[in-house]
Amino acid sequence: MTELDSLQERIGYRFENPEWLRLALARPASRGAEGIADEDIAESERLSWLGDSILSVVISRKLLSLRPMASTEELNDWRKSIVDAIPLGEVAERLQLREAIRVADSLKNNPQATDWHVMLSEALEGIFGAVYRDRGLHEAEAAVLWVLKEKIERTVGPV
């Protein structure tokens, strides 16, 4: 089983076109690395941007459905505790995303070289964007809720 196959199992989604996943895993820190073109990095950044938007909408909808009488302040605090870089980076670590992302070897082998939570959270957002590009919003929403189910439950209770 390849690393991409294993990652697809961990995120609970099998890509029809695995190229989307490969692109989501190309981080800007890989610029100049062998086999990674500038257009791969540009597409990865677009996927992260898209995934960030999807993530915000999906989590907002879920929180509102779970706690319809909550104040907007509570909803904002809960959403932040799920989708900000540090908590999202922690989820990405649990998914072993660090092993899968495509960065220069010097970064991958040096945990102090970069802010890993930010890089990992952006890669996870990129994966959500890639799922959307692969099969649409319904599948992207399912992937977000699958990956973040435990985090949502620890934040606001049973899903």
Neighbouring CB atoms inside 10 A of 21's CB total 22
pLDDT averaged over the chain?
89
DSSP string covering 89-118: HHHHHHTTHHHHSB--HHHHT-TTSS-HHH
pLDDT for 105 beyond 70: no
With bands split at pLDDT 50, 70 and 90, how would you rate the model's confidence at 102? confident
The residues facing 49 across adjacent strands are none
Q: Is the pLDDT of residue 121 over 90?
A: yes
Q: Looking at residue 36, what is its pLDDT?
A: 73
Angle at 154 between CA 96 and CA 145, to 5 degrees: 60
Interval 16-42: pLDDT, tens = 999 999 999 987 766 656 667 778 888
| pLDDT of residue 109 exceeding 70 | no
Q: What's the whole-number mean pLDDT along residues 99-126?
A: 78
